Amino acid sequence: MNPFIKTSTKFNLLIAGIFLALDQYSKYWAKSSLEGNEGLIIIPDILEFFYAENTGMAFSNFSDKPLVLTIIVSSAIAMLIFLSFKIKYLSLDFALIISGGLGNLIDRLRYGYVIDFIDPVFVNFAIFNVADIALNIGIFIMLLEYFRPKKST
């Protein structure tokens, strides 16, 4: 395995841990500060923080099947952890995807929904959270790795 972004397993665990901690703290803050309020304008007409509860995943997909979604997310996290142990290396993309998945899974198990609060009001887009940012960065890195030209041997 020759990752596109070469970092150590310890570094990748640290980054994943930071994202998970930021995610859980920011959701705690959102629930205690934004729930029941109109929201908080961060940058007018660009970015607001608005409390939302999402029983589904991106764009509320699977919102009517929370148990199925929890099983899928748990299985995906378990598979990435298993693969990391098998190759004896935790890549940055896997670490970020696991971290984001765990952040949202914690919410699902604790509340039955995921707390979202970051609202980019300048576009018609879903409200999201820090775990979603980690997931998307991890997927982006994975796609970079997959589509980069391979060296011929």
Is 19's pLDDT higher than 90?
A: yes
Q: Is 132 a catalytic residue?
A: yes
pTM of the model: 0.86
Rounded to 5°, angle at Cα 62 from 24 and 98: 40
Is residue 14 within 8 Å of 117, Cβ to Cβ? Answer: no
Q: ∠62-67-70 over CA atoms, to 5°?
A: 80
Catalytic residue among 93, 107, 116, 119: 116
Alpha-carbon distance of 66 to 64, in angstroms, equals: 6
Q: Under a CB-based contact definition with an 8 Å cutoff, are residues 127 and 117 in contact?
A: yes
Tens digits of residue pLDDT in 114-144: 999 999 999 988 899 999 999 999 999 999 9
| 64 flagged as catalytic | no
Q: For 73-107, give one letter per residue: b (16+ CB within 10 A) or e.
A: beeebeebeeebeeeeebbbbbbbbbbbbbbbbbb
Decide: 51 and 40 in contact? Cβ < 8 Å.
Answer: no
- List residues bridging with 116 in a β-sheet: 52
Please give the Cα distance from 33 to 140 (Å, whole number): 31
User: Could you tell me the two tokens for 122?
Assistant: 């300048």
Kindly report, residue by residue over 47-98, the tens digit of the pLDDT: 999 999 998 766 566 666 777 778 888 898 898 888 888 888 889 999 999 9
* Residue among 23, 93, 119, 132 flagged as catalytic: 132
The domain spans of the chain are 9-147
